[in-house]
Amino acid sequence: MTTFSTDEAAMARALELALRVPAAGPNPRVGCVLLRDGRVIGEGWHRGAGTAHAEVDALSGVDAVGATAVVTLEPCAHTGRTGPCARALIDAGVARVVIAVADPNPVAGGGAELLRAAGVEVVTGVGTAAVRRMLEPWLVAVGRGRPFVTLKLATTLDGRVAAADGSSRWITSPESRAHAHALRAEVDALLVGTGTALIDRPSLTARDADGALGPRQPLRVVLGDREAPLPEPGGDVVRVPGHDPATALAVLAAREVRHVLVEGGPTVSAAFLRAGLVDRVLAYVAPVLLGAGRSAVEDLGIATLVDGVRLRTEDVLRLGPDVLLIARAGDGEEED
């Protein structure tokens, strides 16, 4: 039987369990480990809307009296499609609960207080950084009331997304495109403007290495006033009239979209940047020079270098001949 000598080690296991859950969807990825004297007596994770939450899943068929529950996200304190997890832990006789991240949802939060009021020892802040990284899109979406926004750019070394004649396929390598398709499978929605939809006719689908559609397809969002049909098959299509990024995000928030991938083109990319509604930028850069052609981002209204949009580099990856730069806008922290 597996044993863990520290709360941190047990939380790492709870994180592994949470990562079994697909990243996309309205609910957070949560894992839970039940321990008695460091020995694992139960494990669980939340498999999706309407299914047992991680804590209840871990408690199934287990005598948890006096046990410790190690959970990635604060147990919920409200009744939705399922009952409150904090109450389930109390009723099961759990003596101690270790939590990585507090729940920012004003409807579901408060589980730690409920546990303490029932005499359960509550320890917080264990393994917080790693769990926050996993939950970031959900935490930001719930905390800010709008989806987490990742802006994707695929450019030449001199920042072009198309040559002077308009040709744009393919700037980046198969390795970069495979990485981008894997990312598409992890988000709830893909967003483009009508210009990109009309000129490039993107499918906006998540495909595997053989080009086959993945089992789950993101929502496809077109922002703008012109008719711009998207190829089929693919995910459902949402059309948002006008050119306001905030309006688009409000529409998506109402559909419980937590993470949207903005795939451009330059007009839409600039609109989201000007509005301050980009949380993360993924820039796929190919070692190609064109010297002319369309820039990745249209005019941001910036006249001097000191006013430039400054991002914080988080990581740099090599993808075949290309480089992927992952950068943050602002401080990169979610709001509680």
Domain ranges of the chain: 7-135, 145-328
**pLDDT at position 108 over 70:** no
**CATH architecture for residues 7-135:** 3-Layer(aba) Sandwich (3.40)
Q: What is the mean pLDDT of the chain?
A: 92
C-alpha count within 13 angstroms, C-beta hemisphere, residue 137 = 25
Q: From CA 161, how far away is CA 301, in angstroms rounded?
A: 20
**pLDDT at position 315 over 90:** yes
- Low-confidence winner among 74-78, 143-147, 328-332 (lowest mean pLDDT): 328-332
Closest CA to 147 of 224, 255, 22, 273: 255
Confidence of residue 329 (pLDDT cuts 50, 70, 90): confident
Q: Average pLDDT of 291-320?
A: 94
Confidence of residue 336 (pLDDT cuts 50, 70, 90): very low
Q: Average pLDDT of 23-36?
A: 94
Please say if 55 is a catalytic residue: yes
Confidence of residue 259 (pLDDT cuts 50, 70, 90): very high
pTM over 0.75: yes
Q: Average pLDDT of 292-321?
A: 94
Higher pLDDT, 199 or 99: 99
* Choice among 55, 74, 263, 334 that is catalytic: 55
The confidence score (pLDDT) of residue 149 equals 98
The confidence score (pLDDT) of residue 335 equals 41
The confidence score (pLDDT) of residue 260 equals 98
Question: Which residue matches tokens 């304190």?
Answer: 77
**pLDDT at position 167 over 90:** no
Confidence of residue 264 (pLDDT cuts 50, 70, 90): confident
Q: Average pLDDT of 295-304?
A: 93
The confidence score (pLDDT) of residue 181 equals 94
- Residue 74 bridge partners (DSSP): none
Cβ neighbours around 315 below 10 Å, total: 9
The confidence score (pLDDT) of residue 192 equals 96
Q: From CA 264, how far away is CA 297, in angstroms rounded?
A: 9
**pLDDT at position 257 over 80:** yes
3-state secondary structure the chain: CCECCCHHHHHHHHHHHHCCCCCCCCCCCCEEEEEECCEEEEEEECCCCCCCCHHHHHHCCCCCCCCEEEEEECCCCCCCCCCCHHHHHHHCCCCEEEEEECCCCCCCCCHHHHHHHCCCEEEECCCHHHHHHHHHHHHHHHHHCCCEEEEEEEEECCCECCCCCCCCCCCCCHHHHHHHHHHHCCCCEEEEEHHHHHHHCCCCCCECCCCCECCCCCEEEEECCCCCCCCCCCCCEEEECCCCHHHHHHHHHHCCCCEEEECCCHHHHHHHHHCCCCCEEEEEEECCCCCCCCECCCCCCCCCHHHCCCCEEEEEEEECCEEEEEEECCCCCCCC
| CATH homologous superfamily, domain 145-328 | Dihydrofolate Reductase, subunit A (3.40.430.10)
**pLDDT at position 83 over 80:** no
**pLDDT at position 195 over 60:** yes
The confidence score (pLDDT) of residue 48 equals 76
Q: Which amino acid does the sequence have at 52?
A: A
Confidence of residue 298 (pLDDT cuts 50, 70, 90): very high
